[in-house]
C-alpha cells in the first residue's frame, strides 16, 4: 500500500496533531488512509462526524435515511435552519466538505437492513454506531462481528451516556467482547423509550459523541488504549463517571463456544417489533380517524404522551401520560369507542396492551402513526 502523502495546506491544517510525539505524522497518515462508516446523523452523529472530518479521516461514510427537522436542531449541531427538509446525509456532506475539503464523504441515504448491511459495512475499516434503537444496534453489531470490523458504540438518554469499543482486535490478536456480550437480549418493546419519547439534554450528545470520536481516532491510529472490554458511563446530571468491565460470553450466539448465528437475521422480530404484531391491537388509520371525527358516532380520545409534548401540540384529547395509565384508568370509558394516540404509535399500542390485559378493555383503537401522521395528513390536504 502506498504511503499517504500530504500537501503543504494539509500539513498546516493538521499541525497540532503532528507536533504530538505519540501521534505525529504517522498517526495522521493512518487517519488519512482510514475509512469509517458513521451510522446515524442524529445527536451522536453530529459531533462525531464533525470531529472525524476535522481530524482528517480520509473517507467517511454517512448513513441515514431521515430528513432534517426543526426539533433536531436542539442537539444536532451539524445542521442549520436552512437544512430543514433536506436529507440528512446530503446536508451533512455539504457541511463536512466545507469543514475539510481534503477528505472524501460517501453518502448512504438508505435504511440499514439485513439485506444491505454487509454490502455497505464491508467497504469500511470500522463502524461508529450513533443509532437510537435496539434493532439497528444489534444489526450493526452482528454485521461488524461477521465481517471482523470494530464497532465503536455510544448511546444517550436524558442525562446519561455510554461509550464502548466492541469487537476490537488488540495487538496480540485477541478479539474483545461485542454488544451481545453486554446485552445478550434486547429489553421488551416500549420498556426503554427513545430520545424522541424520553428526551435528552441537548449538550449530552455533544459530550458523548466527542468521546466516541476520540475512541474512533484511537482505534485507527493505535494511540492509547481503546475502551475495548470496558463500558464508560457518564451521568451529566450529577457529573459522575464510572467504567465497568465487559467480558466475552461463551454463550454469545455470534462468536461464543457454539455459534448459532452465521448470517444477519430479522432484527425487528428479534427485538419484538415484528410487523405481524401490529394486529395484536385494533387500530385506526388517520383517514379512518378523520371520518370518525366528522361522524356522529361518540368516541373518546386519549393522549398518552408526556406533558411537554401535549403542551406543544394536541388534539384536545384526555391527557394521560403512559406512566400514569394504570392510576388514571377511571378516566377511560368502556361504553364507546376509545382512540389512543402518542407521537408515532408505539406508546399508545403499549398502553392499549396494558389496558386490555389488566382491565379487560375491548373498545380501544390505536391511531396508526400517532399525532405525527395525523398532522402530516391534515397538512397534505
Residue 354: CB atoms within 10 Å:
16
- 216 by DSSP, 3-state: which? helix
From 342, 351, 352, 373, the catalytic residue: 342
Angle, nearest 10°, between helix axes 88-99 and 45-55? 30
- Side-chain-side CA neighbours of 100 within 13 Å: the count stands at 24
Name 154's bridge partners.
Answer: 163
What's the 3-state SS for 180-202?
HHHCCCCCCCCCCCCHHHHCECC
Whether 271 is a known active-site residue: answer no
Q: Which residues, including other chains, have CB under 8 Å from residue 209's CB and lie 6 or more apart?
A: 43, 44, 45, 46, 47, 48, 51, 130, 154
Residue 306 near residue 371 (C-beta atoms within 8 A)? no
Active site residue 342: yes
Q: Looking at residue 2, what DSSP letter applies?
A: P
Spot the catalytic one: 77, 78, 195, 339.
Answer: 195
How far lies 259's CA from each of 149, 251, 262, in Å? 18, 8, 7
Alpha carbon of 352 to those of 3, 156, 197, 296, 329: distances in Å? 61, 28, 17, 24, 11
Beta carbons within 8 Å of 241's beta carbon, 6+ residues apart: 232, 233, 234, 235
- The x, y and z cell numbers of residue 45, run together, are 452523529
Ramachandran region of residue 318, left (φ > 0), alpha (ψ -120 to 50) or beta?
A: beta
Q: Which residues are catalytic?
A: 195, 342
Amino acid at each position: 500500500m502506498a504511503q499517504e502523502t500530504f500537501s503543504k495546506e494539509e500539513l498546516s491544517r493538521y499541525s497540532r496533531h503532528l507536533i504530538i510525539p505519540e501521534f505525529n505524522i504517522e498517526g495522521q497518515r493512518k487517519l488519512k488512509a482510514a475509512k469509517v462508516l458513521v451510522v446515524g446523523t442524529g445527536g451522536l452523529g453530529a459531533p462525531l462526524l464533525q470531529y472525524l472530518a476535522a481530524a482528517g479521516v480520509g473517507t467517511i461514510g454517512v448513513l441515514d435515511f431521515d430528513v432534517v427537522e426543526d426539533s433536531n436542531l436542539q442537539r444536532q449541531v451539524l445542521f442549520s435552519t436552512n437544512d430543514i427538509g433536506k436529507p440528512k446525509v446530503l446536508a451533512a456532506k455539504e457541511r463536512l466538505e466545507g469543514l475539510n475539503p481534503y477528505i472524501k464523504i460517501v453518502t448512504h441515504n438508505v435504511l440499514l437492513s439485513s439485506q444491505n448491511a454487509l454490502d455497505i459495512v464491508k467497504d469500511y475499516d470500522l463502524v461508529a454506531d450513533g443509532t437510537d434503537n435496539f434493532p439497528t444496534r444489534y444489526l450493526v453489531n452482528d454485521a461488524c462481528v461477521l465481517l471482523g470490523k470494530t464497532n465503536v458504540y455510544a448511546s444517550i438518554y436524558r442525562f446519561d451516556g455510554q461509550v464502548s469499543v466492541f469487537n476490537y482486535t488488540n495487538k496480540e490478536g485477541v478479539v474483545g467482547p461485542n454488544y451481545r456480550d453486554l446485552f445478550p437480549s434486547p429489553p421488551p418493546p416500549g420498556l426503554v423509550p427513545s430520545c424522541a419519547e424520553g428526551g435528552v439534554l441537548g449538550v449530552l450528545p455533544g459530550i458523548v459523541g466527542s468521546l466516541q470520536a476520540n475512541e474512533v481516532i484511537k482505534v485507527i491510529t493505535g494511540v492509547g488504549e481503546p475502551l475495548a472490554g470496558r463500558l464508560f458511563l457518564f451521568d451529566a446530571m450529577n457529573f459522575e463517571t464510572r467504567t465497568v468491565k465487559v467480558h466475552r460470553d461463551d454463550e454469545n450466539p455470534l462468536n461464543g463456544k457454539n455459534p448459532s448465528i452465521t448470517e444477519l437475521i430479522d432484527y425487528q422480530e428479534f427485538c419484538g417489533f415484528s410487523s405481524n404484531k401490529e394486529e395484536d391491537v385494533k387500530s385506526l388509520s388517520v383517514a379512518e380517524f378523520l371520518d370518525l371525527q366528522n361522524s356522529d358516532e361518540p368516541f373518546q380520545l386519549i393522549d398518552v404522551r408526556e406533558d411537554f409534548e401535549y403542551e406543544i401540540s394536541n388534539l384536545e384529547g384526555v391527557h394521560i401520560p403512559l406512566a400514569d395509565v394504570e392510576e388514571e384508568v377511571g378516566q377511560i370509558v368502556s361504553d364507546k369507542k376509545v382512540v389512543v394516540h402518542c407521537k408515532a404509535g408505539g406508546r399508545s399500542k403499549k398502553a392499549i396492551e396494558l389496558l386490555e390485559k389488566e382491565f379487560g378493555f375491548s373498545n380501544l383503537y390505536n391511531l396508526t402513526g400517532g399525532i405525527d401522521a395525523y398532522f402530516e395528513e391534515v397538512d397534505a390536504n
